[in-house]
Structure 1
Amino acid sequence: MTDDPIAEMLLRCAAQDRAAFRAIYSATSSKLFGLLIRILGDRAEAEDALQEVFTRVWLKAARYDGARGTGMAWLVALARNHAIDRLRARPQTTAEMPEDIADDRMRPETRLIATGELARMSTCFDQLEPDRASAVRGAYLQGLSYTDLAARFDVPLNTMRTWLRRSLLSLRDCLNQ
């Protein structure tokens, strides 16, 4: 018998020893369940995850390598990785309840201000040379890279950087008037 009884039971479990599997479950399930609850934050989901973890223990016990750590460490890693996989598989929601959803409609005064700002911005863009205005729109509204813009306008990369910098300064000056 080794100093690690869990490792010994895992080796027996790898040989399909059902008594060893029951013993592993009895010895470790409460600790693993606590870990799963902490990670997942939901008791019912932790119960399901624990069942899946022990299914994996039964199927993958032969993969345990005592030279890489204790039996309990292997079980904890198995449970932790499974819980993280479950977290990643959860759908990403930003709002749980309908009342948590922000009203995205603009209020009338906000709409008037935005319309005025849009008109000012349009006037300022009209003061730029057409290719410079198009480059700024491409970079900041379409997300094109400097390299893409330089190729599109057939200019060197540093020239494109200069165009964008000078155009942004002109827009800033125009908007600050």
Structure 2
Amino acid sequence: MLAFREFVRAAYPLLSPGASITLPCKSGGGGMRPWLMLILRGRTRQFVNEGAIMDTIERAGFEVACMDEVASWADVGAVAREVDACDVLVGAHGSGLTNMVFLRAGAVVVQVIPWGKMEPYGEGFSGALAAHMGLRHVMYSIAAEESTMYNRYGEDHPVITDPDVFYRNGSNAKFYWREQNIWLNTTRFAPTLQMVKRMRRE
């Protein structure tokens, strides 16, 4: 994976960390603050409070840019340059995180894990690959209350209280992969952002 990441960076080429940010972004005031790319999914596992998330990222001391997961494939070269200019990539578990291949060595990938015991998938699909590519990986597992299924089905429904039931009957993908979106608790998420800032200084 390390050789593949280096191959991709050479192919575009991504030789300089100074590429300009041109994707839709909301700047928090300039200066030398690190850049964070927030990946917005197009269908499932969407961030339904993206504005609040962006505000929290800015208050944590980052400049924030957004990438639409679907539109990102329209010009892969341009996206590669934008991601290369970032220090941190944040996104919900899904294919959008494959953009980590454009990051520089030592950058941080923050994977938001949806509700429903999805941590093993997060580690297998993204965490292990990030480590092999010379990147640092952080998982933030949402609480039940941060899943839109919590309000849809209620706190006592087995989809919230007993995910194992749905893994046994084979319907886990229906609920946890395709039905839920994420209302990120920005207060709960803020310490993760501070941890990422400390990681960048190490």
TM-score class normalised by the smaller sequence: under 0.3
Q: Rg: which structure is higher?
A: 1
Q: Which has the higher helix share?
A: 1
Q: Which has the higher strand share?
A: 2
**What TM-score, normalized by structure 1, do the two folds share?**
0.21
Quick one: higher RCO (CA 8 Å, sep 6+), 1 or 2? Answer: 2
**What TM-score, normalized by structure 2, do the two folds share?**
0.19
